[in-house]
Structures are given as C-alpha cells and as structure tokens.
Structure 1
Amino acid sequence: MDMQFTSREDIEAPIDEVFAEITDFTRFERGAMRRGAEVARSDAQVEPGVGMGWQVRFKLRGRMRDVALRLSEYDPPNGIVIEAEASTVEAVLQVDLVALSRARTRLNVDLSVTPRNLAGRLLVQSMKLAKGKLGKRFRLRVAEYAMDVEERHKRSA
C-alpha cells in the first residue's frame, strides 16, 4: 500500500554537471536549515558516497518530525538513491540521470512512501486521497529544481 510519485525533466546541461548538482549535499543541508529544519550529519565520511547519513528534524502540521536519511546508492554520473525513515513511514527517493546529448540530461525522480504502522497507513491513505494535488506539487518542485540547475549551468558556462 505504498504511495508513488514520479517526475521527469530534461535539463540543458551535461550529465556530469547535473550529477554534481544532485549530489551537492551541502547546498541541500543549507536549504533545509533556511526553511527551519535542524540538520545533522550522522556519518563521518569526507567524500560523498554510500553510507552518508543525516538526522533531520522539522515542523510539519504543527508537530516536530524526525527523519533519518541515508545515501544507499551512489553511481556517478547515473544517479543516487536516498532512503528515509520516520516513525510512521519509510521512503525511497531514486534520482536517475540519462545523457540525451553532450549538453542535455534527463532527470528522472521517483519517490516511494511506505507505511510502517497504523499511523503511517492513515497518513499514506490521506496522501492517496490528495494524490492529484500532491503529485502536481511534486512535479512542480522537480521542474523548479531542474530550472535552477539549468540557470546555474548557464551562469557558469
């Protein structure tokens, strides 16, 4: 009974640059902190790779939420997989990159959310009721991210 979100965007930038963007974990950490989340690394790795982890704490719907994130696949320049665990749900975020040409990359993003207990089942059930709206918002966020990556590429070119 899991919930699936998918999105695909084409980015006017070489695959190596797009991979560097999707693995700029420091930028993601800063962005989350700017939006009020507490982010702490849960590993001691210096180089990016499998095993990197984060403890993230943020407020959602009036309650504090704790999520453990772990980088479970790191395959330059093809993509990454991040696993997330919270008390009620677990999620897998898979980001795949495909070189369409030397200067164009397809970004495929797949998010799967699975309940861990009754509270998680209720959450996933309510997400399914709002699937159209949530899916649209997910695709919009991925599209905005792709545009940001493209803009940064144009400025650095």
Structure 2
Amino acid sequence: MKFSTRQDIESPIEAVFDNLSNFDAYERAALKRGLGVTRRATTEGEGAWDLQFRLRGKMRSVIVSLVRLERPEHLGFAGESRSFQIEATLTLIALSKARTRMGVELDIRPRTMSGRLLLQSLRLSKGGYSRKFEAGVQNFAKKIERNRFRPAG
C-alpha cells in the first residue's frame, strides 16, 4: 500500500533538511510516546533503530534503517518487521531561497500471509488513512515553518 503527498514549506531547503535529519529529536519523541527505541548504529550519516510498540494488544517490533542521506535533497528509510517491509522517502526541492517543496512517500508491503490479510483489510479504509497521512505531513510542515519543530507534538 502506497501513500504520498507534497507540501510547500516557507523555509529554506537547508533548514527543512536539518529538521528532517534531527534523529535525536525523533528518538526523544518516540520515547515520550511510549515506544521502545534502541539505536543500532552510530556511524555519522548512518543509523538503524529497533522500535518496540504495542499495537492491537500485541508488542510489535520494527527495525528502521537510514538507507539514503543526500544533503539537502533526499532522505530514505527502510523498515522491516515480521509481517511487513516499509520504505519511506523524503524529497526536498528548493522552489526559492525561502520556499521548499517536501515530497513524502510511504510504501508498505506484506512479507507474510497474515501481513497480506491485514493490508487487504486496511485497503478498504485507504481514503481515511490517506487523509490522516496528509494531515500529519501538513502539520509537520507547519511546525517547520514556525521554527517550532518538536517531534513530540
């Protein structure tokens, strides 16, 4: 299942990229929301994290890796759980010195039969999930514009 959206941000491309690549802030935000976060790699420009969270009454685990970091235009992440494979791509385009277009793509693919069944049931409500996805990206873009980016929301 794929989700994608674009948002124009009234902020220079470098500032937007700095916000998007603030991994320490994301770790703190995840911990505040009750997720378990363990950093797997600390090499500069690279990273991988183990995330643990409760979903539908079960503890879930996802390994997220930074797979692409091209300053100031691209960030790519790959995630893997027992049932799903996830890819996220963030692309930035400078529209002017003070305006940036951010494109966000999320692709979720099943790895198991139970994953296929869950995704199939989610496809029935894809419109609602798409609206929530777009609203989340829009909210994030507004926080960057106001220079109040705090992933803890």
* 3-state SS of paired residue (1:122): helix
What's the counterpart of residue 74 of structure 1? 69
What's the counterpart of residue 107 of structure 2? 112
Q: How many residues align?
A: 149
Q: Which runs of 4+ in 1 moved over 6 A?
A: none
One-letter amino acid of the counterpart of residue 31, structure 2: M
What's the counterpart of residue 37 of structure 2? 39
Alpha-carbon separation, structure 2, partners of 1:125 and 1:95? 25
Gaps of 5+ in 1: none
Alpha-carbon separation, structure 1, partners of 2:6 and 2:60? 28
One-letter amino acid of the counterpart of residue 77, structure 1: P
One-letter amino acid of the counterpart of residue 96, structure 1: T
User: 1:137: how far off?
Assistant: 0.4
Alpha-carbon separation, structure 1, partners of 2:13 and 2:78? 23
RMSD: 1.2
2:98 to 83, 95, 103: 103
Gaps of 5+ in 2: 149-153
2:5 to 4, 7, 24: 7
What's the counterpart of residue 128 of structure 1? 123
One-letter amino acid of the counterpart of residue 69, structure 1: V
Alpha-carbon separation, structure 1, partners of 2:6 and 2:56? 28
User: 1:124: how far off?
Assistant: 1.1
The answer to whether residue 48 in structure 2 is matched with residue 84 in structure 1 is: no
* 3-state SS of paired residue (2:127): helix
One-letter amino acid of the counterpart of residue 51, structure 2: V
User: 1:44: how far off?
Assistant: 2.8
The answer to whether residue 24 in structure 2 is matched with residue 26 in structure 1 is: yes
User: 1:62: how far off?
Assistant: 1.4
Q: Please, what TM-score do these two structures have when normalized by structure 2?
A: 0.94
Alpha-carbon separation, structure 2, partners of 1:60 and 1:32? 14
* 3-state SS of paired residue (1:152): coil
Q: Please, what TM-score do these two structures have when normalized by structure 1?
A: 0.92
Q: Report percent identity of matched pairs.
A: 38
Q: Deviations over 1:102-152 (max 9, x none)?
A: 000001000000000101101111121110000000000000100111111
Alpha-carbon separation, structure 2, partners of 1:7 and 1:35? 25
